[in-house]
Amino acid sequence: MPVRKTIEAHFEQVAREQHRQLGALTDDLELLHTGLDSLSFALIVARLEDSLGVDPFESVERFPVTFGDFVRLYESHSG
Amino acid sequence: MTAAGASSDRFLAGVDASLPLAELGRVSTLGGRLAELRGRSVMLVTPDPFTAAIVLIELDGVARRVVLCPPDLSPAHFPQIVGEAGCDAWVGDPGTNLADLGVRTVVVPGLPVAMDLERRETQETEWILLTSGTTGAPKLVLHTLATLTNAFAGKERPAPQTVWSTFYDIRRFGGLQIFLRGLLGGSLVLSSPNESIVDFLTRAAAAGVTHISGTPSHWRKALISGAIARISPRQVRLSGEIADQAVLDALRRTFPGAIVAHAFASTEAGVGFEVRDGLAGFPAALVGAPDLPAEIDVAEGHLRLRSGGAGRCYLGTDTTPLKSADGFVDTGDRLERRGDRYHFMGRSGGIINVGGQKVHPEEVEAVINALPGVHISRVAARKNSITGAVVAAEVVRSTAAASREEIPNEELQRAILDACRKALAAHKVPASIRFVPTLEVGASGKLVRANA
């Protein structure tokens, strides 16, 4: 499954579990406007580490601000 | 205490209200009822930190004791706290059963009004701060203004244009330190629980914040917000959680001209030390060094601190002493020495710190272990680059052959998560569950944990 799809799946799963309304995951959607809190992001990052075997936040150059930034960050660390 | 020598342009700013600091001590939010609170033990439960700040100054020197309740404190804990602190007065919105708790006086704070107050300071007020205890119920730590200002008593008055701010609520130790520093010099911009991080940063920027403090989790949120570059602080401070190299580097890149410092402090031990070299952990040379705000000791891998800034004691009956016989406070933080540096490895007793919120493994294990199909579980911290750590569980399935056949792992996993979500706050629910064949139990009959 492409990285983006995996990320979308985890965002949607965590949003469901945390009973949060997720906005449409477009590239320019700002992460703080996704409706997710820090805990939700922590869960997503933990599960992506399990799925993709990588946590790019350990040595991130620039923290992602939009969903597109987030996807690109993971894409640049995968494969 | 008053805002010493306040010039007319020093201010205290909340979300939608602001006050010249020179007015503190001359305004009242208590509607003229301050005299009723003289010598009383007061529970301060006002949701708005700006009002709380004004009330604290009014009550200091007048009330015998003030319990600083943070905004997220569950009302379920009120009876315990009122009982242990002997509160007979309440400042905040009234609850339904305050009379049952022995609270005789309730004052609902209003807007600050200039009063011709003659504030006689007749006693050294005890400031009671709350910190999390082993079962999730809070522990009460007794401080005074003397202990709370110990760390900066000898410091120079800050430059006139200094504007302090903090992501923390001022009713927690980290935020309270900033509040008290601001009273001694400079201005203050208070955060608010319901304000978005973007709005807070925008407001702090407009006020010209120069010194800003928060936990690594607060700072990571700020970094993701896209609004962090609105502020131009001279000093950026981190405390309250382990500051990892990634967040320190990100802040140094974001604020190249600023001092980025991370500090160790706790409600019990007070302020320990500050590190400004940009590296995670702290230099081993600090241990036993003279002329530091706190004496630092490492014993059995634990950080211990001794200073005049520690809490005096815990309130309540069933508690361990806050200090050992030699006056040191065991912080409960485990250290690992690598070369000439110590690094923080997490809490002893396995307490998990999820973005500043503490989780005791035992409370999660209790929920998991109650499920049919589970023999035993072990819960521990799993490192996380967003919140520092998240909760992870290892589970040994019960050996009944029937249950293993009937309930596949995935279904049991779902059942465990459902049970945890029903019984526990969101940050305590395991982020991952791993089924393992066995878990080691020691001679004491207790689970062997990696981090005792």
Q: Chain A: nearest CA to B93, how far in angstroms?
A: 28
**The predicted structure's pLDDT at residue B380:** 93
Residue B267 to residue B309: CA distance in whole angstroms? 10
Instruction: Give the up-direction half-sphere exposure of residue B429: CA atoms within 13 A in the CB hemisphere.
Output: 21
The contacts of residue B154 (CB under 8 Å, 6+ apart) are: none
**CA diameter of chain A:** 33
Q: Is A28 on the interface with B (CB under 8 A)?
A: no
Question: A38 vs B182, B219, B244, B267, B390, CA distance in Å?
Answer: 29, 11, 17, 24, 11
| Closest partner CB to A38 (pick from B198, B226, B387) | B387
Distance from chain centroid for Cα B338: 28
Q: Are residues B313 and B372 in the same domain?
A: no
Q: Are residues B100 and B62 in the same domain?
A: yes
Q: What is the pLDDT of residue B427?
A: 93
Pair B275, B420 in one domain: no
Q: Residue B355: which CATH number?
A: 3.30.300.30
User: Based on the domain organization, do B418 and B377 belong to the same domain?
Assistant: yes
CATH number (domain holding residue B46) = 3.40.50.12780
Mean pLDDT estimate for chain A: 91
Of B220, B390, B421, the CB nearest to A43: B390
Q: Measured between CA atoms, how close is A37 to chain B, in angstroms? A: 9
Asked if the structure places residue B38 within a domain, the reply is yes
Q: Are residues B356 and B314 in the same domain?
A: no
Evaluate whether residue B75 is within a structural domain. yes
Range of the domain at B114: 11-333
In angstroms, rounded to a whole number, what is the distance separating the alpha carbons of residues A37 and A8? 16
Kindly state whether residues B422 and B325 are assigned to the same domain: no
B63 part of a folded domain = yes
Higher per-residue confidence, A1 vs B393: B393
How many distinct structural domains can be found in chain B? Answer: 2
- In this structure, the strands spanning B302-306 and B295-299 are antiparallel
Angle (nearest 5°) at CA B238 between B355 and B345: 60
**B197 contacts on A by Cβ (under 8 Å):** 32
Choosing from B304, B333, B362, the residue where a domain stops is: B333
In a domain, B307, yes or no: yes
pLDDT of B434: 94
- Same domain? For B290 and B370 the reply is no
- Domains of chain A, CATH where assigned: 3-77 (1.10.1200.10)
Nearest residue, CB atoms, B355 vs list A17, A42, A60: A42
Contact B189, B178 (CB under 8 A): no
Residue B355: its chain A contacts at CB < 8 A? 38-39, 42
B431·A41 Cβ contact <8 A: no
| Predicted local distance difference test score (pLDDT) of residue B79 | 93
Tell me, what's the pLDDT at A35? 87
Q: Are strands B329-338 and B341-347 parallel, antiparallel or unpaired?
A: antiparallel
Alpha carbon B82 to its chain centroid, in Å, reads: 20
Q: Both B116 and B182 in a single domain? A: yes
B449, part of any domain: no
Q: How many CB atoms lie within 10 A of CB B97?
A: 11
- Cα–Cα distances in angstroms (integers) from residue B123 to residues B59, B120, B144, B204, in the given order: 10, 9, 11, 35
Between chain A and chain B, the number of residue pairs with CB atoms below 8 A apart is 66
Structure tokens at A38: 């820090």
Gap between the Cα atoms of B154 and B21, Å rounded = 22
Inter-chain residue contact A55 with B387, CB threshold 8 Å: no
DSSP code, position B191:
-
My answer on whether B170 and B48 are in the same domain is yes
Which of B199, B248, B386 is the best residue to mutate to test the A interface, defined by the most A CB atoms within 10 Å of its own CB?
B386
* The pTM of the whole model exceeds 0.95: no
Asked whether residue B400 falls in the same domain as residue B286, the answer is no
Among positive and negative, which fits the CA dihedral B381, A12, B167, B233? positive
Asked if A59 and B246 come within 8 Å (Cβ–Cβ), the reply is yes
A58 near B CB under 8 A: yes
- Residue at B147 is within a domain: yes
Is the domain of B255 the same as that of B116? yes
pLDDT of residue B320: 82
What amino acid occupies position B67? V
CB spacing of A63 vs B427 below 8 angstroms = no
Q: CB of B273 within 8 A of CB of B265? A: no
**Cβ separation of B355 and A38 shorter than 8 Å?**
yes
In this structure, is residue B114 part of a structural domain?
yes
Is B320 in the same domain as B358? no
Interface test with A, best of B225, B385, B428 (most A CBs within 10 A): B385
| Alpha-carbon torsion, ordered B40, B45, B51, B57, to 10 deg | 30
Residues of chain A contacting B380 with CB distance shorter than 8 Å: none
What distance in Å separates the CA atoms of residue B310 and residue B327, rounded to the nearest whole number? 9
DSSP code per residue over B94-157: --TTTGGGT--EEE---S-EE--------S-PEEEEEEE-TTSSEEEEEEEHHHHTGGGTTSPP
- CA dist B20 to B23, B26, B29, B110, Å? 6, 11, 15, 18
For residue B42, the model assigns a pLDDT of: 97
- Exposed e or buried b for every residue in B264-301, given b needs 16+ CB within 10 A? bbbbbbbbbbbbeeeebbbebebbeeeeebbbbebeee
Question: Does the CA dihedral A35-A39-A40-A45 come out positive or negative?
Answer: positive
- Does residue B443 lie within any of the structural domains? no
- Helical segments of B226-371, H only: 245-254, 361-369
| C-beta separation of B169 from B151 below 8 A | no
Residues of chain B with pLDDT under 50: none
Contact between residue B81 and residue B140 where contact means Cβ atoms under 8 Å apart? yes
Within a 10 A sphere around the Cβ of B334, how many other Cβ atoms?
20
Say what the pLDDT of residue B1 is.
Answer: 53
Give residues with Cβ within 8 angstroms of B151, minimum separation 6. B177, B265, B270, B271, B293, B294, B307, B309
Asked if ipTM goes beyond 0.90, one says: yes
- Rounded Cα distance, B410 and B423, in Å: 20
Residue in chain A lying closest to B391 (CA)? A43
